[in-house]
Structure 1
């Protein structure tokens, strides 16, 4: 079963840019254009008057506020509204709410001044300010004069935007979101008037949009329940933060016409939904913002146009053709998939800003691939203390990892190490050993699990290995295996199923007494039928094995990876050079039988095919079974002889 090596051209993604190669040749693309399907649903939400709540999944590093702002700019404009309060000065404690067009706030205030100065009012002009007729408004206004107007008249939101606005609500509490009926301490007593109405963000967003992070409600559920009441009722009652003081003023509830957008990751949404069963029925729409740009659904020109937007807005140097190509490769690597590009603009902007400074220092007028690599190298060197310690352990032989020769029951697996509080993971091989024999009770013992150093997924993979042996060797007789599997010199918790292929091969090696080549490393999950499945962190694993082999002076290295992981390959220049120089071979495998042939230089075959690995194990199992039968027969005859002797002695007596 011949397994072809992966050629160097498959080790890094290549993006088809057509005839264009420079950033300036592409049109700028706004954030909302990256999500055309969301645009259509948001347009429907915008047009539907009864739709008040939208829930959107978000992710760190992407500016969702600007994305919604971009969407709004493409929607039909709606006139912004304001809430106005006028106190009835003839009655104690009465204040009435009215809605006016925000762009007519100036005219409305002029009309108030005209009434106070002349006692006359142009009702046709007043009607231009009002959203709907209020017959009792004019008498209230006529009762105002220069002595009481400042206390009896207030507009809660001045004309900042004549069209639909969007407010980003953060660091919320009851007052900032819902406002407050304040009190004034004067002449040894507390008084209140319309002037003491402190508008909240909901009042300021009247007639527009307000965006709120769901996290604001996770730690303060009372905010959510009050907001839900406002959404349902369309009005907001005024409350005083000073609960010990009873105010004479009892203003009308404020009419609230606001479209609320809740944003959060899926965990936050699920936490809110867990405490709020009505969420799915209250929400008019759910929108999903993907964390990655899918090249199979959109043309890459849209993503490049988005990069151009980030660079233009941040006033950074442009990308050269080599810089653009390198950035695309790096963005794809962050996603661990060659059909996806990262939308973490915070991470992109940080990288590009550093590149901008390096380019200016080097007196360049653009950002090229060398500049990007310089920044990446600086970041890596500042963070690779743990890698240096790992290298020292290999060099000083404190960590045993053999990459020469061959050994029975020992294999090099590939792992990815993640350190708490550290932003980057790195790959490191791990020595996996197996011991055992074919004269047991069918049990494969996992030392990590028994030592309580294994996670649930690892435990599941061990059960799958057990299932593989049952499927492969249980016909026509069960396999009487007894074996131990150990991840050597591992002192932290191990989880994941990416070592299942390596562990199974180590067990097969010890059962067949067939050595495994130590210059090869293995990663891959398997199912019960031996099919090799994709794993994560493939790039870090390959680069980690190359690093260790270089320390050991190895030049004929090989790595077995799942064929399904080819789409994830996005490797360093050093590793690509090693492949080109035939110092490293990467073998994609789809079934464990291919791995067996590469690792042990023997065909896997079947239990009935002579001189194959499975047949050797089967024959050993049969011989052991025959020995057990012979031993059982000998013991039986001995027992019978002893019984006959005892019986004869009894008859003689």
Structure 2
């Protein structure tokens, strides 16, 4: 099997020529094209089920690019309608919602405010006029005169009968006529028997007078009401008709205005200024009873809104009802109904939500699905679910739903939280998937170059060609593929920002400073220094011998494997010693990590694959007769993955063949049951980790290096220090396709010889085992 030693220009940072001066956006990348097309497709379908989930890796611009695209798409659409909430005169607890053309909501509110002021002025003028006051006074005096005349006649009749009509604490009664000798305050004597009949007749006549007086007062009240209505109609007709002429063509609003005029005539008290100390219900003030709650205003919006709701609680999505402090209580009405982000995006707009924020409130997610299902927006006071009900609290009628919902988040949220919900696919039928990387083709290089220049401009600096080329190389390194660029371009923006704030990057002569390669290299180095404390301590432990790693010499059954430590914000590679120890037995390969519950399922699978390879190679005629334990030395945490299975196989074959393994070399790679080397992750981190170990253990010997699978050749985007050492022949990188190519590199013997020695050792084990079993049988 062939071994290929990789040259420096195949492992260092790729050199891309910056191009493109035009403005670019993230959705111009081929990695984002699929998502852009999906968004455009969804926006072109007028169906509430075709909502979108945009998924992409962190720092890939998934949110900023989505918002920018949506804003551009909405800019070509007409402005949505305004919404107002008005009093329902028949059922005040169910306020009415009306749709008005954009900008008309504010105009209607202003016009209604003006109307109320006009009517108040007109009514005050009409009801305070001398003619009105004279009619009311004359009517009252006339009725009072008639009542007084009838009472006087009745009193004369009583006196003629020796009786009198007097007012007592118990009311009007008939008593004996007081004599001249009766003192003031003295009780009247009881009526004689012969006068009681006359007294009862007088009381009956007195009741008739009282009833007649009540009827006259009711008639007077009706006359006053009729007079008031005539005056009010005269005061209302002109102003209300003017409003109806202006807004009566809007669907439903003309009928409401007619009902409003009738309600004004029925509730003229609402226009009267309250007396000192008087308290009325809130809706008995004209300014509030006939107010316009401008619920959603698009007067200044030229197109449907793109609303990003950062905190998608129920109240923020669906709206709320506010309360005002009243003496001894809280009160509310239709003027205190407030919209949510669904209302602001309604009318052909887009509501954008972050997946992690929506997943944090499952109740809000359930209500959102309900709104999409029912195609309407309802406002409920969920926070008052267990509170004492407020009398008269409004229950607004649902508003028809017309928008798109776009959820933006990492793939983790899409594949775990949302797709686990059966209803998700019914309401979010479009997936806008952003790839993690993109081919390093001229189209993407030009777009990346333009974005990098925009990043520099936003930081008030400019970059020369060498700096941009270095950033393009870093984008390839972050993609871990020299033929690709990472879609996480915001990580490149972080480097530009840090470089722009280095000492010496201040503007000079009013011009933005020009940053070169040195500034970018300094920013990258500073970032590594901030984040590499754990790596530095590990390499320090290796240099001191605390962590035992050899970089020279040869040892039987001991191999330098390579691992990656990912701390979340920083990943690095380091060597890890793998050892194997074989003995007589029938257990086969024993994974110590598994036995102590430190090995993950993939790591254990890799060990079982090794068992399969050994059995296929050495047990064609006889069963394997050996025990062999393998382990990661000085590893006290969990081990997962199969990227060390090539190293484990080398260690096992070394111990079986009794050939020492070169310690100046390290290896990473997975292996299958046929001995073929398989690709692994983090190859560039692993190579750099072993390179640093060799460098800090002494000067490079010229024989040190790392072996990787051939499939990982495109993944090598190494630091310039490693590439320079490779170019100078002080460090080497080999790629292999099979274990047969690995063995000569580590055991200095051809694979056939290694297998022969191992086979002889296994035959010896088998003979000893048979002898032992025969002796045990005897």
Q: TM over 0.5, yes or no?
A: yes
Is 1:488 matched with 2:633? yes
Q: Note closer, same or farther for the CA distance 1:476–1:378 as it changes in structure 2 (3 Å cut).
A: same
Which protein is richer in helix relative to its size? Answer: 2
Q: Note closer, same or farther for the CA distance 1:550–1:63 as it changes in structure 2 (3 Å cut).
A: closer
Show the counterpart of 1:191: 331
Structure 1 residues 12-52: Cα deviation after superposition (integer angstroms, max 9, x where no partner): 243554xxx46xx4211123333333333322322322235
Show the counterpart of 1:148: 286
2:317 pairs with 171, 177, 190, which one?
Answer: 177
2:556 pairs with 394, 402, 408, which one?
Answer: 408
* Contact 2:626 2:766 survives alignment (8 Å): no
Distance 2:115 2:90 in 1: 17
1:49 pairs with 3, 23, 46, which one?
Answer: 46
Distance 2:44 2:100 in 1: 21
* Contact 2:94 2:395 survives alignment (8 Å): yes
1:397 pairs with 545, 550, 566, which one?
Answer: 545
Structure-to-structure mapping, 1:564-579, within 5 angstroms: 564-579=711-726
Distance 1:284 1:430 in 2: 47
* Contact 2:57 2:411 survives alignment (8 Å): no
SS for the counterpart of 2:751 is coil
The runs of 5 or more residues in structure 2 that have no matched partner are 119-238, 265-269, 272-284
TM-score by length of 2: 0.74
2:533 pairs with 345, 367, 385, which one?
Answer: 385
Show the counterpart of 2:185: none
Q: Note closer, same or farther for the CA distance 1:492–1:107 as it changes in structure 2 (3 Å cut).
A: same
Is 1:343 matched with 2:487? yes
Distance 2:63 2:105 in 1: 27
Following TM superposition, by how much is the alpha carbon of 1:507 offset from its aligned partner in structure 2, in angstroms?
Answer: 0.5
Is 1:429 matched with 2:582? no
Structure-to-structure mapping, 1:576-591, within 5 angstroms: 576-591=723-738
Show the counterpart of 1:139: 258
Distance 1:635 1:273 in 2: 63
Distance 2:770 2:389 in 1: 95
Show the counterpart of 1:121: 242
Show the counterpart of 1:98: 98
The root-mean-square deviation of aligned C-alpha atoms, in Å, is 2.8
Structure 1 residues 128-154: Cα deviation after superposition (integer angstroms, max 9, x where no partner): 8x5x56552442565679863545311
Following TM superposition, by how much is the alpha carbon of 1:583 offset from its aligned partner in structure 2, in angstroms?
Answer: 0.8
Deviates more, 1:581-590 or 1:596-605: 596-605
Q: How many residues end up aligned between the 2 structures? A: 620
Following TM superposition, by how much is the alpha carbon of 1:572 offset from its aligned partner in structure 2, in angstroms?
Answer: 1.0
Structure 1 residues 323-342: Cα deviation after superposition (integer angstroms, max 9, x where no partner): 11111111221221223323
Following TM superposition, by how much is the alpha carbon of 1:182 offset from its aligned partner in structure 2, in angstroms?
Answer: 2.5
Following TM superposition, by how much is the alpha carbon of 1:311 offset from its aligned partner in structure 2, in angstroms?
Answer: 3.4
Q: Which structure has the higher relative contact order (CA within 8 Å, separation 6+)?
A: 2
1:504 pairs with 624, 631, 649, which one?
Answer: 649
Q: Note closer, same or farther for the CA distance 1:384–1:627 as it changes in structure 2 (3 Å cut).
A: closer
* Contact 1:58 1:64 survives alignment (8 Å): yes
Distance 1:69 1:218 in 2: 20
Distance 1:615 1:357 in 2: 63
Q: Which has the larger radius of gyration?
A: 2
The runs of 5 or more residues in structure 1 that have no matched partner are 606-611, 640-653
1:308 pairs with 443, 446, 453, which one?
Answer: 453
1:354 pairs with 498, 513, 530, which one?
Answer: 498
Distance 1:381 1:190 in 2: 59
1:236 pairs with 377, 382, 397, which one?
Answer: 377
Distance 2:65 2:774 in 1: 81
Is 1:282 matched with 2:402? no
SS for the counterpart of 1:496 is coil
* Contact 1:408 1:513 survives alignment (8 Å): yes
Show the counterpart of 1:227: 368
Distance 2:333 2:541 in 1: 75
Q: Note closer, same or farther for the CA distance 1:631–1:465 as it changes in structure 2 (3 Å cut).
A: closer
1:67 pairs with 65, 68, 71, which one?
Answer: 65
Following TM superposition, by how much is the alpha carbon of 1:561 offset from its aligned partner in structure 2, in angstroms?
Answer: 0.8
Distance 2:713 2:683 in 1: 9
Is 1:370 matched with 2:537? no
Show the counterpart of 1:643: none
Show the counterpart of 1:644: none
Distance 1:335 1:103 in 2: 49
Deviates more, 1:571-580 or 1:170-179: 170-179
Deviates more, 1:564-573 or 1:172-181: 172-181
Following TM superposition, by how much is the alpha carbon of 1:157 offset from its aligned partner in structure 2, in angstroms?
Answer: 2.1
Distance 1:70 1:362 in 2: 30
Distance 1:635 1:349 in 2: 73
